[in-house]
Amino acid sequence: MDSSLNSEASTAKRSWRWLAGYLLMIVIAVGAFAAIRVIGESSADSLVSAATGSEILRQDARPATLPKLLGALAAILATARALGAVFGWFGQPRVIGEVVAGILLGPSLLGRISPEVMWSLFPDAIAAQLGVIAQLGVILFMFLVGLELNAELLRGRIHMTVVISHAGIVTPFLMGAGLALWLFPQLAPRGVPFTSFALFLGVSLSITAFPVLARILTERRIERSELGVLALSCAAVGDVTAWCLLAFVVGVAQSAVAGAISTALLTVLFIGVMFGVVRPLARRWLGERDPSQINGQVLTTVLLALLLSSLAAEAIGIHALFGAFLLGAVIPHESAVARAFHDKLHDMVVLLLLPAFFAHSGLRTQIGLVSGLSDWLTCGAIIVVATLGKLGGTMIAARLTGSGWRTSASLGILMNTRGLMELIVLNIGLDLGVISPTLFAMMVLMALVTTVATTPILRWLSPQETSLS
């Protein structure tokens, strides 16, 4: 009994010693820091007194970049989610609301209502950083788009798919190039060759938004119907073709004719290496792995390959986005690593990084530049030509390959969906100086109108499809 009491007393005494020692340590630490602070502040005061007034002014004038960037991202995310929900309620893809949110935060609306608020949210330094975030987001997004391409959809229908998808590219491309004859004198930037302008306008009218198209089909639950499978197959082939065309156009825009030929040859070589060398290696190394084997080392290696592929595309003279897209396309669609990247990257890219891209695009979109009856008639003509080219070319080719008129027309409406992919292409053109800000605004409006029109027209037009499952 006495021994147990002595033990408890000894334990309590040690506890009090530990507590006293701990408190003493804290007091000593606080006192030591206070002493260091006094010494440091006095030294800093003497240094500040020796500094010139202009140096102090420069130090005080440095913007709090991180808080401003976080505030800008918060405003972008809140506006994008709110408008995405509104458009979703009306049966439109949420991405349309997010694109509109980016435009409304820019000079087209917020800049007109309160320029002070817009420049407070997006000063030049923050806009530049948003541009970097946007480019990273789009690179990751194009990688995910490449991962979503399913070559199995093409089995048994490759010839019909290629004919329809390429007719849906060639027709609007030629119509866009013809439209360039009219638009070049009034809307081309000074010093831009007609060839570059016409090529870029043709490609811009040829784009289909594969991810938005897939989302529309999924929401309508017809992705496994005859129409759905045919649409996804055509969009997959069209995506690859259109991005190859865009790579060539970028090379032409950045080089002289000899340089463009060199860029085209290097692009063909790049595609050959990716499909002839990288794809078999990816199938052998990634295709047979089960989810338990997808670890940090595997994911890091794929991310490194993504960066190297993007860098190679830039070095060739085409855009980094093409390299990201191509790497995604050569990775097996149903592999565990593809699912892992989709699970880990998709939400972050779609919910945060892409709205930053929309805001960056919105800051560059000035709807006010489209002013007067003449400009609006020009914008309307672009929308009509883009729709007739994409819808007409796809519909006629589908009809000639054996589809009924209603299915052919529905397929044409689906292929006329442009959305996000069009914005990516337009931003490339604006960065290269191939299109003017006014034409950029008109083309953004064209992308919105053609995408918004898809769902209501499809509801009215498309028949009830029989599932292929």
As a whole number of angstroms, the distance between CA 222 and CA 137 comes to: 29
pLDDT at 388: 93
Mean pLDDT (10-residue bins), the chain, 469 residues: 58 59 63 60 49 42 71 90 87 81 86 87 85 87 80 64 85 89 89 86 85 71 72 76 77 65 80 89 79 79 92 82 85 84 86 85 84 90 93 89 84 85 84 89 90 84 48
As a whole number of angstroms, the distance between CA 48 and CA 59 comes to: 11
Alpha helices in 331-466 (DSSP H): 336-348, 354-364, 372-400, 405-415, 419-432, 437-452, 454-461
Greatest Cα pair distance, the chain, in angstroms, is 107
Domain assignments of the chain as residue spans, ordered by start: 2-60, 72-461
In the numeric block, which tokens belong to residue 27?
């007091």
pLDDT at 446: 92
DSSP 262-314: HHHHHHHHHHHHIIIIIHHHHHHHHTT--GGG--HHHHHHHHHHHHHHHHHHH
As a whole number of angstroms, the distance between CA 3 and CA 289 comes to: 64
pLDDT at 54: 43
pLDDT at 303: 92
pLDDT at 52: 43
**Gyration radius of the chain over CA positions:** 29
CA separation, residue 219 to residues 215, 255, 455 (Å): 6, 43, 10
Class of domain 72-461: mainly alpha
As a whole number of angstroms, the distance between CA 330 and CA 151 comes to: 10
Place of tokens 């290269």: 432
Q: Phi and psi for 467 in degrees, rounded to 5? A: -65, 145
As a whole number of angstroms, the distance between CA 74 and CA 69 comes to: 9
pLDDT at 55: 43
Q: Which amino acid is at 289?
A: R
H/E stretch holding 462 reads none
pLDDT at 226: 73
